Amino acid sequence: MSFIIRDSTGNDISLLTNLIRQSFKDVAERFNLTAHNAPNHPSNCTEEWIIKAIQNGNKYYILEHQNIPCGCVALEQANSEVFYLERLGILPNYRNKGFGKALVNHIIQKARNRNAKRVEIGIIAENIELKNWYRKQGFIERSTMKYKPLPFEILFLFKDL
C-alpha cells in the first residue's frame, strides 16, 4: 500500500481536527464517551486544541494514501529523553492496512533523531485490542491511573529506543 507521511502545516488545522474527531468517533461510541463525561477525549477535538498543541511545540504528521489524508499523529517532547506519541488516528475505512504502524515508526524515528531514550503513550485501559496492538509495536505496559472526571482508567505504555 503506497502512502506518504508529511509534516503538517498551518493550513492543516481544520484537516487535523477532522481526522482526529472522525478517527476517534467509534472509540467514543464504544466506550460511551461524550463531551460531558470525557471532554478531553480526541473525539471532541477542536481547532483550538490543535493550535494550542502546536504552539506548545507538538509536531503533527499526516499520512496520505493516493493523495487522500487518512491518518495523523503528533509528537510531544516531555523532556530531553522522553517523547509522547499523541493523537494517533486512522480513519475507520483505512484501518488494518499498516498505516498506524507506519505512523508509529515515523514518530519513533523522529524521536530518535532528537536523541530520545523513550516514547510513551496513554490509552483507555479497557481497550484490549489497542493495548495488544501497541504491544505488537514493541510497547510495554507501565502503569494505570484514574483521572477525575474521566469515566475510564488510562494505561501508560512505553517503548525504549
pTM: 0.95
Other beta carbons within 10 Å of 11: 7
What was the pLDDT predicted at 149? 79
Amino acid at 133: W
Q: What percent of the chain has pLDDT over 70?
A: 99
> Residue 91: which of 23, 2, 15, 21 has the closest Cα?
23
Residue 150: pLDDT over 90: no
- Dump pLDDT digits (tens) for 49-81: 999 999 999 999 999 999 999 999 999 999 999
Q: Cell numbers at residue 50, please?
A: 490543535
Q: Which domains does the chain have, with CATH numbers?
A: 4-160 (3.40.630.30)
Strand pairing report for 59-65 and 140-146: unpaired
How does residue 114 score in pLDDT terms, banded at 50, 70 and 90?
very high
Separation CA 125–CA 157 (nearest Å): 10
Q: Give Cα separations from 83 to 34, 36, 109 (angstroms).
A: 28, 29, 11
Residue 1: pLDDT over 80: no
Give strand ranges (E) for the chain: 4-7, 59-65, 68-77, 82-90, 118-124, 140-146, 153-160
Task: Look at 44 and 1; give whichever has higher pLDDT.
Answer: 44
What mean pLDDT, rounded, does the chain reach? Answer: 96
